[in-house]
Amino acid sequence: SLKPSITLVASANEAKQAAQTFDTKAIQKLDSAHYLHPFTDFKDLNEKGARVMVKGDGIYLWDSEGKKVLDGMSGLWCVNVGYGRSSISEAVYQQMEVLPFYNSFFNTTNVPAVQLAAKLVEISPPQFNHVFFTGSGSEGNDTNLRMVRRYWDLLGYTDRHVIISRHNAYHGSTVAGASLGGMGGMHAQGGLPIPGIEHIGQPNYFEAGRGKTEAEFGIEAASWLEQKILEVGPEKVAAFIGEPVQGAGGVIIPPATYWPEIQRICDKYGILLIADEVICGFGRLGTWFGSELMGIKPDLMTFAKGVTSGYIPLGGVMVGDRVANVLIEKGGDFNHGFTYSGHPVACAAALENIRILQDEKIVEKVATETGPYLKQQFATLATHPLVGFADSCGLVAGLNLVKEKAELVHNCVLFDAEQNVGMICRGYMFGNGMIMRAVGDRMIIAPPLCISVQQIDEMIGLIRSCLDKTLADLQ
Ligand code: PLP
């Protein structure tokens, strides 16, 4: 029988000492037999076998074969304080001992959820005095969709239900999250997007800014929002949603002119602004929330990932006064929520995670030390013969692999998509001791925020050697 009675792994303690004691083949066999992974070609994975991750410490991970890698992606953009923080495990353990679960429905609450709500209000921009908890970022964006429509209904504008988003945006994998997102591959499966969601272009200077300065292009990309509002009819548009810096869409760092212009357009038509801060929140850009860096004042902010550094699932929406006051004063029951909204253990993990971010001044370090250092070092990668364009913001960065470089980035000659050069480069990463992601031919990183300048040097060295190997492969 495939149902195992065998012990697949050594005990947790032994595992800590010697990752090699894992039986990789046995785990892979069971994995293929029973586990359908997210965003995965199941057949392909079954043929290749999954990589089995067994341990993390700081910015490093180990697999079941004992291979150590530098995690340039913070797990999945989330392990902001790094792996192996025993004070978070301790906070989780203590909360589990006292009250592992209770719900927040039916006029009940729990202490960590209340404390976390107050803490989130303290660290977020002044318009936020309320939070709605969910279990993930996707659920947070589902909540946004229902909340903004409810807001307009309560004000008597029952036609105002359309939400405008952007192509290539990632807002999650639930039906509403994937619809709000602009990923063609997701929309092609399951009849998405659902009605009432529209998409405009992303502010991708490298791809779409030919013939313009960055500043000009920022204004132009924002003007696509106004065009869409006029096309749909301003009286029908409820909200605009965007990530301050688009993450999964390829680390698209907008020109400085973009977000202030988006804010101006939203204000002009009275449209709610939703910042999806699932990646940018909790210090990624060197501010607690990306909106602060971009100079915008969103009405709603989605968060997840970095709120617990991924140690326990938790997400939610910061609800600004404009929306909260209407929901509270006019709303009656809001018929929406999750079993795990305000989960006491997740909230305890988040409180300890935020304490670490504050006490170690990690966000300030990203702003003044590691972020600027990464920018400087990433610029040196731009001199590599394969790199046509490289940019960074805080501790998120990307570089475009090109066939022929040019002084003017828009004159670079791109590789044919079928060559899959990004995937070739990514193929060298793990073997070389580094995790980096490829979005087409753009290679992206988002390392843990606790990374030091010495470790940035190490990471840049690893990336450079992967680029060298990719170049050699192509010649
Ligand atoms: N929004 C953004 C910007 C994201 O990057 C993600 C996940 O990567 C989500 C939402 C969805 O979050 P989750 O996977 O926790 O549902």
Length of the chain: 475
Rounded to the nearest whole angstrom, what is the distance from the C-alpha of residue 14 to the centroid of ligand 1?
34
Name the residue of 134, 166, 171, 291 whose CB sits within 8 Å of the most ligand 1 atoms, as the mutation to test its pocket.
Answer: 171
Structure tokens at 28: 């892979």
Query: What's the number of CA atoms in the CB half-sphere (13 Å) around residue 399?
Result: 28
The separation between CA 220 and the C-alpha centre of its own chain, rounded to angstroms, equals 25
3-state SS class at 303: strand
Cβ-based burial of 192 (10 A; exposed 0-12, middle 13-18, buried ≥19): middle
Structure tokens at 405: 């470089």
**Helix %, strand %, coil % of the chain (to 5):** 45, 15, 40
Consecutive sets of 10 residues in the chain, 475 residues long: mean pLDDT of each?
Answer: 47 52 91 96 96 96 95 98 98 98 97 98 98 98 98 98 98 98 96 97 96 97 98 98 97 98 98 98 98 98 98 98 98 96 98 98 98 96 96 98 95 95 95 95 98 98 97 93
**Which residue is closest in CA terms to ligand 1's atom 1?**
171
Concatenate the DSSP letters of all residues of 144-180 into one string. Answer: HHHHHHHHHHHTT-TT--EEEEETT----SSHHHHHH
For residue 289, give the DSSP letter. Answer: S
Calpha distance 3→168 (Å, rounded): 40
The per-residue pLDDT for range 287-315, each reduced to its tens digit, is 999 999 999 999 999 999 999 999 999 99
User: What residues does ligand 1 touch, defined as CB less than 6 Å away?
Assistant: 136-138, 141, 170-172, 243, 247-248, 276, 278-279, 304, 315
Rounded to the nearest whole angstrom, what is the distance from the C-alpha of residue 246 to the centroid of ligand 1?
11
Q: How many CB atoms lie within 10 A of CB 33?
A: 11
Rounded to the nearest whole angstrom, what is the distance from the C-alpha of residue 285 to the centroid of ligand 1?
16
Torsions phi, psi for 267 (to 5 deg): -65, -40
Calpha distance 253→269 (Å, rounded): 25
What pLDDT score was predicted for residue 3?
Answer: 46
What pLDDT score was predicted for residue 21?
Answer: 76
Phi-psi region of 285 (alpha: psi -120 to 50; beta: other; left: phi over 0): alpha
Rounded to the nearest whole angstrom, what is the distance from the C-alpha of residue 334 to the centroid of ligand 1?
24
What pLDDT score was predicted for residue 1?
Answer: 38
For residue 80, give the DSSP letter. Answer: T
Q: Are 366 and 395 contacting, i.e. CB atoms less than 8 angstroms apart?
A: yes
What pLDDT score was predicted for residue 22?
Answer: 87
The separation between CA 373 and the C-alpha centre of its own chain, rounded to angstroms, equals 22
What pLDDT score was predicted for residue 170?
Answer: 98
Q: Are 405 and 385 contacting, i.e. CB atoms less than 8 angstroms apart?
A: yes
Rounded to the nearest whole angstrom, what is the distance from the C-alpha of residue 114 to the centroid of ligand 1?
24
CA 172 to ligand 1: nearest atom: 11
Cis peptide before 260 (omega within 30 of 0): no
Torsions phi, psi for 68 (to 5 deg): -100, 130
pTM across the whole model: 0.95
Rounded to the nearest whole angstrom, what is the distance from the C-alpha of residue 304 to the centroid of ligand 1?
7
Report ipTM for this prediction. Answer: 0.99
Tokens 């106004």 correspond to: 226
Torsions phi, psi for 434 (to 5 deg): -145, 140
Integer Rg of the chain from CA: 23
CA 313 to ligand 1: nearest atom: 15
Give the contacts of 113 (CB within 8 A, at least 6 positions apart). 104, 133, 342, 343, 344, 347
